[in-house]
Structure 1
Amino acid sequence: MKKIFYILSVFLVMSSCNDALDIVQDSEINDATVVFKTVDDMKLFLNGSVYPAVDPLNEIFFTSLFTDEVGYGLAGVSTSDILTHRWVLNSTSGDASGLWVSNYNIINKVNILLDRSKLINYNTLSTTDKATYTNIIVHARALRAYAYVTLESYFSTNMKDPNALGVMLSTEPANILETKLPRVKNSEVFALIESDLQYALTNFNTSSVTTGGASVQHYLQKPAINAIAARYYNYKGDDVNAKLNATAAVTTSGLSLSNPTAYPTIWNDTARGEILWSLYRPNSAVGSWSNIASLWTTNSTDIDGSVTFDMSRKLYDLIDDQIPGGDIRKDVFVDGSSQFDQLYPTGPNPREDDVIVINKYPGKSGSLASATMRLRNDIKMFRLSEMYLILAEVAVHEGDLTTAATRVRTIRGTRSKGSLAATITYTSAQQAYADILLERRRELCFEGHRYLDLKRMGVAAGVGIDRDKYDDDNQNLPLTLPASDYRFTLPIPLDEINANPNVQQNPGYN
């Protein structure tokens, strides 16, 4: 009997507002057994089904809400979002289900592509088609690796322990009538991730897998695959390979960190800048509709846009002119219409009178600018700045605090609108980890990193969730949550456990 697992994500449409996986995308092929007769069929499936399945909005929104990136805005907030913001996590939480759903959906679609590609006789293909066939497999396997890395990072209690419990593993298309698989050790999932990444890095070629005129950053290029590998090995605690791949991503991409003049253009999608890989939005053969700014606002990214969540005052204060000469990130991430209580936090209505509007995703510009595009931007999956910060983290692991400080200072210097005269000196690993977390908090806010950053480094840095008093309308709630808390691993969704008795729940959620 084939080892096929039951995965809720493949068969049920979740109610999460961030999940649009039930929508049939342009060029999607639903009957793979019939249509996989040519390389063009594989290309259509990659573009119409696999790439559109990649959607990290669940991770981005959950991270911003659960950690210390946002506070309540002026508009109404749903009960489920209030519970997440107040650190209520259990097996029925939609946040965990949405994340589980979207990533297993990627995996299953990749498994379909890989399985049905066997229907094509590779040996009879032309030289050109052979190269395209191979490159399609490269993209598919790299995307599967990305999905498994994401699942492991959220649902494994400790990615640095190969014997810790990981997630369910399959390389075949899902079938609900067959074997229900248990979760396996991290080492088994790691073996597949590393096999996929090695295949992708070894076999990547320049054959086009696109069906249209998409920009190069909207598809995985080899430096972007290096970036996936760098993030994976960093999460896993493999410093040698994390450093190797982060360095390769930086040095082979031909890109450089965006200076203050160029930095705004990468967020309004008018220039690539330092982006290694982004998901093209709006809709096309390589993407789906995705109003990313609607995670925090309703109509537009200004004070009149019916703001549901605004930037935490504490996060704003960490960005606001902390760099000599000014920080370009303040200008880019915060809309100019934001409302500031000049007496904050001693004014009469500090939460209502202080509305810091998130504008990191300001809507499309240029030829795509329109009223319908005010909440829609490409999703930035990997940027050079993350690679520099991974290299800083690895340097601390290696005991090289000078290099770690240099890497962090490079980011700060590039984001400074003036000169960055002061050098950075670390005298302990704990201080270095805390400063790296601080820079990641600034640079990568609203990109889905903070939760995993705290899970990975928070204990060593002595840092946990650190909120402002007025991020919530209940002033009696705790403002901190230590990174050692069990909720820094997500629960396996209850529907998955009910359908598959072989699946073991994570500690703290029984």
Structure 2
Amino acid sequence: MKKYSLSLIISCVLLLFSCSDATEIEQPGRLTEAAAFETIADLQSGLLGTYGFLDTTSEIQFNAVFTDEVSIGFDNGGQGLGDGTWAFVLNNVSTAPNVFWTGFYGSLNNVNILIQAINNYEVQDGEQVDYNNILGEAYAIRAAIHHLIMSYFSPDLTDNGALAGILLDFVPTPEQQLPRNTNAEFYASIESDLTLAASLITKDQGNTFINDDFVTALRARVAAYRGDYATAAPLAQSLLASYPIANRAEYEAMFLDTDETENIFKLERTIGDNFDGQGNTGSSAAGGWAGANFAFVNATADGSPYFEMGRAVFNQLDPLDIRFDVNVAPTSTIDPDYQTSANALQTDRIIIKKYEGSENRALMNDLKVFRSSEMLFIMAEARADSGDLTGAAALIDQLRDARFGSDQVAPTYGSQQAAFAGILAERQIELAFEGHRYKDIKRLGVRAGVGVQRDAVDCSINGACSLGPDDFRFTLPIPRSEIAGNPEIANQQNPGY
């Protein structure tokens, strides 16, 4: 796989939008910013292009394979195993940090070019509302990407002085070489962008476009990741008032893309769009159908599954819980004696169903980015953080009642650690295969006393069974290509690498 430094990423993107060269020669045929964005419709098209950079399939793949969400499928021919991710091998030439770094910064540079073009655009009569919304959505996208960079590359999201990534809120020149910025600087930029977004966005175009609720959800997530629950909880609670927890039928329909009860924001996937295809199977590069992260053909036992559900997830699922039906394909073969079976790979086949497909396209489903259940978890974390263990348990019980469709026995937490462990366990099954597990262990694992813990049978292939929550690999390394090409960042590698 080719790897690129930030300066080269910027150079490549600038070639698409152009700028004057060193001698100010205007080359024939060059597409300038002014020529690319001549009308409000051009700006809208540019905005839609930036939405494509919010694809979460790479996150889904990495979070599943590096943690305890999946096991090796019976039809695996080496997919997802080649770079060592399944074995907890993570270094500055691994696929995930390189894909995330280049992808996030390519996205930032594109959205910054768009913001620059919007700010240089001369608004015509009757265009102000559309203009404001386009600019507001662009600011929100920039904030979201900066937070993704923090989530993966900052070693401690609660430490304002810790290094995050390179703050890119402007269009740099290819010659610029920039150092990493602190979390505090990232948080200030994110909040500034979200404040601008909230002041500009007035249109509600549904949950596949950024609106005020997206801004509120992102603010809640950012604050929760930061450990600022006094800010996070009220934001989360305000969204739960508008997006109630789905009942069993609604929950099942949500993952067939036919119900929107819990969806605050999602990335729509449809036949013929840029994501309609298999993508990079077994790779953090991913792309394409989300379900192709786990199977080649479809979400059945005959669909060539190369990853199956890990027993660490399955053993927590109750058949009476609707999440069992959503996540476990009915063609699965469940071996109750899998721990002593001589050939568990063949006798115990738990097929992942969550992305079985929609619109008659197997493995293609909308990508859920913000759901109301995440907001409920943020509120539960806030209560646990404040010592209200009974209140945290009540919220988890509320979710379980909805998923079982009947009153369940509320959990009892005897300590803060037990409460965070309970919340983390519930997040593991509620948000399974949605791109959260790695980040959840990173930010909650130490408080919960929980790391990656694969079932002994699942990890018998290589002995990579557990990883403590304080392990340095819960922060991605700065890619070697960036270290080599940017002297400003050469001495700013993350600990352990």
> Structure 1 residue 256 and structure 2 residue 244: aligned?
yes
Change (3 A) 1:351 1:82: farther
Q: In the alignment, which residue of structure 1 is the partner of 2:6?
A: 6
Change (3 A) 1:67 1:7: farther
Change (3 A) 1:292 1:156: same
C-alpha distance in 2 between matches for 1:349 and 1:11: 52
Secondary structure of residue in 2 paired with 1:380? strand
Q: In the alignment, which residue of structure 2 is the partner of 1:25?
A: none
C-alpha distance in 1 between matches for 2:253 and 2:409: 28
Change (3 A) 1:360 1:50: same
C-alpha distance in 2 between matches for 1:169 and 1:246: 27
> Structure 1 residue 359 and structure 2 residue 343: aligned?
no
Secondary structure of residue in 2 paired with 1:310? strand
Equivalent positions of 1:50-61 (< 5 A) are 50-61=50-61
Letter of the 1:184 partner, please give it: N
> Structure 1 residue 180 and structure 2 residue 181: aligned?
no
Deviation at 1:396, TM superposition (A): 1.1
> Structure 1 residue 191 and structure 2 residue 179: aligned?
no
1:448 to 431, 435, 449: 435
> Structure 1 residue 244 and structure 2 residue 234: aligned?
yes
Letter of the 1:485 partner, please give it: D
Deviations 1:183-212 (A, max 9, x none): 01111111110101111223320176xxxx
Q: In the alignment, which residue of structure 2 is the partner of 1:309?
A: 307
> Structure 1 residue 282 and structure 2 residue 270: aligned?
yes
Equivalent positions of 1:362-377 (< 5 A) are 362-364=356-358, 368-369=359-360, 373-377=361-365
The answer to whether the 8 A contact 2:400-2:408 is kept is no
Deviation at 1:330, TM superposition (A): 0.4
Deviation at 1:160, TM superposition (A): 0.6
> Structure 1 residue 222 and structure 2 residue 216: aligned?
no
> Structure 1 residue 235 and structure 2 residue 235: aligned?
no
Return the TM-score normalized by structure 2: 0.89
Q: In the alignment, which residue of structure 1 is the partner of 2:340?
A: 346
C-alpha distance in 2 between matches for 1:36 and 1:82: 41
The answer to whether the 8 A contact 2:80-2:86 is kept is no
The answer to whether the 8 A contact 1:106-1:143 is kept is no
Equivalent positions of 1:24-103 (< 5 A) are 31-47=32-48, 49-75=49-75, 76-78=77-79, 80-81=81-82, 83-103=84-104
C-alpha distance in 2 between matches for 1:438 and 1:285: 35
Q: In the alignment, which residue of structure 2 is the partner of 1:433?
A: 420
Letter of the 1:171 partner, please give it: D
Letter of the 1:230 partner, please give it: A
Q: In the alignment, which residue of structure 2 is the partner of 1:479?
A: 465
Count of matched residue pairs:
465
Deviation at 1:172, TM superposition (A): 1.9
Deviations 1:79-132 (A, max 9, x none): 64561011000000011111122222221121011101122124xx32x41111
Q: In the alignment, which residue of structure 2 is the partner of 1:490?
A: 476
Deviation at 1:469, TM superposition (A): 1.4
Deviation at 1:320, TM superposition (A): 2.8
Letter of the 1:240 partner, please give it: A
Secondary structure of residue in 1 paired with 2:260? coil
Deviation at 1:427, TM superposition (A): 2.1
Change (3 A) 1:80 1:425: closer
C-alpha distance in 1 between matches for 2:88 and 2:270: 32
Change (3 A) 1:262 1:412: same
C-alpha distance in 1 between matches for 2:236 and 2:179: 33
Secondary structure of residue in 1 paired with 2:164? strand
Change (3 A) 1:462 1:344: same
Deviation at 1:10, TM superposition (A): 4.9
Return the TM-score normalized by structure 1: 0.87
The answer to whether the 8 A contact 2:377-2:423 is kept is yes
Change (3 A) 1:261 1:445: same
Q: In the alignment, which residue of structure 2 is the partner of 1:464?
A: 451
Letter of the 1:119 partner, please give it: N
Secondary structure of residue in 1 paired with 2:41? helix
The answer to whether the 8 A contact 2:269-2:367 is kept is yes
1:273 to 250, 256, 261: 261
> Structure 1 residue 115 and structure 2 residue 120: aligned?
no
Secondary structure of residue in 1 paired with 2:248? coil
The answer to whether the 8 A contact 1:466-1:479 is kept is yes
Identity of aligned residues (%): 36
C-alpha distance in 1 between matches for 2:430 and 2:475: 23
The answer to whether the 8 A contact 1:42-1:136 is kept is yes
Secondary structure of residue in 2 paired with 1:497? helix
C-alpha distance in 2 between matches for 1:30 and 1:274: 42
1:158 to 151, 156, 164: 156
C-alpha distance in 1 between matches for 2:322 and 2:204: 38
C-alpha distance in 1 between matches for 2:447 and 2:389: 15
Deviation at 1:222, TM superposition (A): 1.3
Secondary structure of residue in 1 paired with 2:344? coil
Gaps in structure 1 of 5+ consecutive residues: 14-21, 23-28, 209-215
Secondary structure of residue in 1 paired with 2:71? strand
CA RMSD, 1 decimal: 2.1
Letter of the 1:377 partner, please give it: N
Q: In the alignment, which residue of structure 1 is the partner of 2:487?
A: 501
Change (3 A) 1:174 1:352: farther
The more displaced of 164-173 and 303-312 is 164-173
Letter of the 1:350 partner, please give it: A
Gaps in structure 2 of 5+ consecutive residues: 17-29, 278-287
Q: In the alignment, which residue of structure 2 is the partner of 1:131?
A: 129
The answer to whether the 8 A contact 1:231-1:242 is kept is yes
The answer to whether the 8 A contact 2:65-2:80 is kept is no
C-alpha distance in 1 between matches for 2:459 and 2:200: 50
C-alpha distance in 2 between matches for 1:408 and 1:457: 16
Q: In the alignment, which residue of structure 1 is the partner of 2:281?
A: none
Deviations 1:425-459 (A, max 9, x none): 22210110000000000100101111111111111
The answer to whether the 8 A contact 2:6-2:105 is kept is no
Change (3 A) 1:55 1:342: same
1:146 to 130, 144, 147: 144
